[in-house]
Amino acid sequence: MRQDVRVPLPDGGSLAATVALPQGTAPAAGWPGVVVLHEIYGIEPDMLDVVDLFAEHGYAAVLPDLYSHGTRVGCLSRAMHQFVTEKPGQPAAD
């Protein structure tokens, strides 16, 4: 079962994310979980297949859209600038 959710952030914003859960009733301790990170181009259909595959194997999987807390081009340029200058900022915090 896959659904779109919003993940709240400390600054009051949120990230869009896709969550995939295994079928059936969750164990008492909850499902083991995994965070799936997308490639530089953002969420593509093959990344959704990856979260589904984890769910089929008994994991709760979340795929956050790391570009949903700003524009895609802006996030890419900010992230690259932060890596080069070694000054962490919003993309790293998200």
Burial 20-36 (b: 16+ CB within 10 A, else e): bbbeeeeeeeebeebeb
C-alpha–C-alpha distance, residues 38 and 47, integer Å: 7
Q: What are the start-end ranges of the H helices in 4-68?
A: 45-56
Q: Please give the chain's pLDDT, 94 residues, in tens.
A: 899 999 998 888 899 999 999 999 999 999 999 999 888 778 899 999 999 999 999 999 999 988 887 655 556 667 667 767 777 666 666 6
Which structural domain range is residue 25 located in?
A: 2-93
Contact 21, 43 (CB under 8 A): no
- The partner residues of 5 in beta bridges, in order of sequence, read 17
Give the number of residues written for the chain: 94
pLDDT of residue 29: 94
- 87 phi, psi to nearest 5 deg: -115, 100
CATH code where residue 47 lies: 3.40.50.1820
* Overall domain count for the chain: 1
